[in-house]
Copies of this chain bind each other. A is one copy, B any other.
Amino acid sequence: MAAEHLEDEQVHSVIAEETSQENEHHDEDNRLKPEFLRAVREALDEEDFERVYDLVEPLHPADIADLFELFDEDQRLDLARAIRDLMGVEVIAELNDWVREALIEGLPADVVADIAEQLDTDDAVAMIEDLDREDQQAVLAELDPEDRAAIEAALAYPDESAGRLMSRDFVAVPESMSVGDLIDFLREQRHLPTDFWEVFIVDAMHKPVGTCALSWILRTPRSIPLSDVMKREQTLIPVMMDQEEVALRFQKYALISAAVVDEAGRLVGQITVDDIVHIIQEEAGEDALLLSGAGDGDINEPILLTVRTRLMWLVINLGTAMIAASVVGLFQGAIARLALLAVLMPIVSGMGGNAGTQTLAVAVRALATNQLTSSNTRRMILREFRIALTNGLALGTLIGTGTAIIFGMPMLGLVIAMAMLINNLVAGLVGILVPVTLDRFDIDPAVSSAVFVTTATDTMGFFSFLGLAVLMGLA
Contact = CB atoms under 8 A, between A and B. Distances in A.
Interface in A1-16: 1-15
A174 B4 CA distance: 11
A77 interface: no
Interface stretch (A43-51, A128-136, A373-381): A373-381
Contacts of A293: 354, 357-358
Is chain A's binding surface mostly helix, strand, loop or mixed?
helix
A364 B285 CA distance: 10
B62 A238 contact: no
A256 B238 contact: no
Interface string A1-43: 1111111111111110011110000000111101001000000
> How many copies are assembled?
2
Contact of A15 (B66, B94, B265, B294): B265
Interface in A203-228: 203-209, 213-215, 217-221
A297 B377 CA distance: 16
A311 B206 CA distance: 58
A441 interface: no
A471 interface: no
A360 interface: yes
A193 B387 CA distance: 44
Interface residues of A, number: 183
A280 interface: yes
Given A317-B350, A387-B306, A365 B297 contact: yes
A169 to B, nearest CB: 6
B261 A15 contact: yes
Nearest to A462: B346
A329 interface: yes
A175 B9 CA distance: 9
Name the 5 nearest CB pairs between A and B, nearest first: A8-B174, A342-B342, A288-B288, A284-B284, A284-B285
26 contacts: A1-B146, A4-B191, A6-B173, A11-B209, A13-B203, A13-B209, A13-B265, A15-B208, A19-B261, A30-B370, A62-B254, A186-B219, A195-B213, A218-B218, A255-B274, A273-B273, A280-B284, A285-B287, A289-B361, A289-B362, A292-B357, A299-B371, A307-B391, A310-B387, A313-B358, A332-B342
